[in-house]
Amino acid sequence: MIRIAIQAKGRLNEDSMELLAEAGMKIADSRRKLLTQAEGFPLEVLYLRDDDIPQAVADGVADIGIVGLNEVGEKDMDVEVLHRLGFGQCRLSLAIPKEEGYDGLQWFEGKKIATSYPGILGRFFSEKGINACIETIAGSVEIAPSVGMADAIFDIVSSGGTLVSNGLKEVEKVVFSEAVLIGNRMLTDEKRQLLSQMIFRFEAVERSRGMKYMLMNLPEDKVEEAVKILPGMKSPTVLPLAQTGWCSVHVVVREDELWTKIEQLKEIGAEDILVLALEKTIR
Ligand code: PRT
Ligand code: ZN
């Protein structure tokens, strides 16, 4: 049995649950409970606030956890970052009132900066030799300058919309973050084994993200041209059809290229094109 800590509610909860489900670990939606057991894998799920996940994993209360890299960096706990998960992408940035001129990090010298990430910001400023006053606040950091609590902020940015609507502009992108799988450093062999099975499953799910499975009928003498259009995984699978002179071509394509590929394939005579969801890619 291995125990994973995930965010109880918030931005990472849904994607974390979805990843586990796609990896064959079904969890009854009983979020009122702190701890639940998954079906299909010897896994227990512990629901916590994201701030508490690095410590829970470092202390062994949970063996592994899914949390933003920003929280791992801020809490500075001794945990292993095992795998990047590709969701919850954001950055930690410095932002100042939009009417201010900005000519580099020196702007922050002697200024007051509001943040929920004093650890990361303190390290960044001391690396760059900036002396500033860091004001730690728990939430609504973006309103601090307009109410006179601070000159600038250091906060999570994703689209940047929140900054704009608070009259701020992003002037320094300090660190990039995404959800990661973290682990306790002292896992038993049995737990390590389960962990590597989990990561194997996650990778199969990740490889299929944004990919589609496409099949079509094609005149045999057009296969070479089709191969040039379709990079595929290695090379496309070509199967004979009962009707002479025709074959069936199967290939995996990136979803963002799908329509361009379909148009090119129709031009060389492809017919009856089917596009299917791709769930898992095992290597
Ligand atoms: O209750 P709990 O403590 O568990 O949750 P929380 O409120 O502390 O965190 P939550 O759920 O808001 O975020 C969890 C994690 O999601 C963060 O630690 C990041 O790793 C990640 N993440 C990704 C984000 C964002 N994107 C994001 N945009 N976390 C917060 N935001 C905020 C941002 O600060 C801004 O205020 O969302 C707002 C919208 O951002 P813009 O730039 O798109 O306008
Ligand atoms: Zn939090």
Q: Do residue 98 and residue 158 come from a single domain?
A: yes
**88 touches ligand 1 (CB under 6 Å):** yes
Is the separation of the CB atoms in 48 and 5 below 8 Å? Answer: yes
**115 touches ligand 1 (CB under 6 Å):** no
- pTM for the structure as a whole: 0.90
Whole-number pLDDT of residue 232: 60
Return d(Cα 219, Cα 61) in angstroms, integer: 61
Return d(Cα 64, Cα 179) in angstroms, integer: 13
Return d(Cα 145, Cα 57) in angstroms, integer: 35
Of the listed ranges 165-169, 183-187, 216-220, 222-226, the least confidently predicted one is 222-226
Which of the listed residues 158, 162, 164, 178 should we mutate to test ligand 1's pocket, taking the one with most ligand atoms within 8 A of CB?
158
Q: Do residue 231 and residue 271 come from a single domain?
A: yes
Q: Do residue 266 and residue 243 come from a single domain?
A: yes
Residue type, 268: I
Q: Do residue 84 and residue 195 come from a single domain?
A: yes
Number of domains in the chain: 3
Q: Is 62 within the bounds of a domain?
A: yes
Q: Do residue 12 and residue 75 come from a single domain?
A: yes
Atom of ligand 1 nearest to the CA of 160: 42
Residue 12 DSSP label: T
Helical (H) or strand (E) element with 259: helix 258-267
Please tell me the number of the ligand nearest to residue 68's CA. 1
Average model confidence (pLDDT) across the chain: 94
Give the orientation angle of helix 13-22 with respect to helix 189-208, to 10 degrees: 100
Atom of ligand 1 nearest to the CA of 71: 18
Q: Is 282 within the bounds of a domain?
A: no
Compute, in angstroms, the gap from residue 93 CA to the centroid of ligand 1: 13
pLDDT average, residue stretch 15-28: 93
Q: Do residue 161 and residue 183 come from a single domain?
A: no
11: number of Cβ within 10 Å? 16
* Residue 263 domain boundaries: 211-277
Whole-number pLDDT of residue 283: 83
Closest-CA residue, ligand 1 atom 26, reads 90
Q: Is 254 within the bounds of a domain?
A: yes
Return d(Cα 128, Cα 105) in angstroms, integer: 8
Whole-number pLDDT of residue 112: 98
Please tell me the number of the ligand nearest to residue 158's CA. 1
**120 touches ligand 1 (CB under 6 Å):** no
**Percent of all residues in the chain with a pLDDT value above 70, rounded to a whole number:** 97
Is the separation of the CB atoms in 3 and 46 below 8 Å? Answer: yes
Q: Do residue 98 and residue 215 come from a single domain?
A: no
Whole-number pLDDT of residue 233: 55
- Per the document, the length of the chain is 283
Q: Which of 21, 8, 12, 13 is nearest to 56 (CA)?
A: 8
Structure tokens at 129: 């030799």
Task: Indicate the burial class of 254 (C-beta count within 10 angstroms; 0-12, 13-18, 19 or more).
Answer: exposed
CA angle 146, 148, 151 (to 5 degrees): 85
Q: Is 283 within the bounds of a domain?
A: no
CATH code at position 34:
3.40.190.10
Q: Do residue 77 and residue 95 come from a single domain?
A: no
Res. 31 pLDDT band, cuts 50 70 90: low
Q: Is the pLDDT of residue 120 over 80?
A: yes
Indicate the SS3 state at residue 95. strand
Whole-number pLDDT of residue 113: 98
Residue 255 DSSP label: G
Q: Is 6 within the bounds of a domain?
A: yes
Res. 230 pLDDT band, cuts 50 70 90: confident
Q: Is the pLDDT of residue 50 over 70?
A: yes
Which of the listed residues 7, 9, 11, 136 should we mutate to test ligand 1's pocket, taking the one with most ligand atoms within 8 A of CB?
11
Q: Do residue 170 and residue 42 come from a single domain?
A: no
Structure tokens at 128: 């760059």
Burial 70-104 (b: 16+ CB within 10 A, else e): bbbbbbebebeebbebebbebbbbbbbeeeeeeee
Indicate the SS3 state at residue 128. helix
pLDDT for 161-177, tens place per residue?
A: 999 999 999 999 999 99
**155 touches ligand 1 (CB under 6 Å):** yes
Atom of ligand 1 nearest to the CA of 89: 23
Return d(Cα 124, Cα 166) in angstroms, integer: 24
Q: Is 100 within the bounds of a domain?
A: yes
Res. 217 pLDDT band, cuts 50 70 90: very high
Is the separation of the CB atoms in 38 and 45 below 8 Å? Answer: yes
Atom of ligand 1 nearest to the CA of 11: 11
**68 touches ligand 1 (CB under 6 Å):** yes
Atom of ligand 1 nearest to the CA of 69: 20
Indicate the SS3 state at residue 126. helix
CATH code at position 244:
3.30.70.120
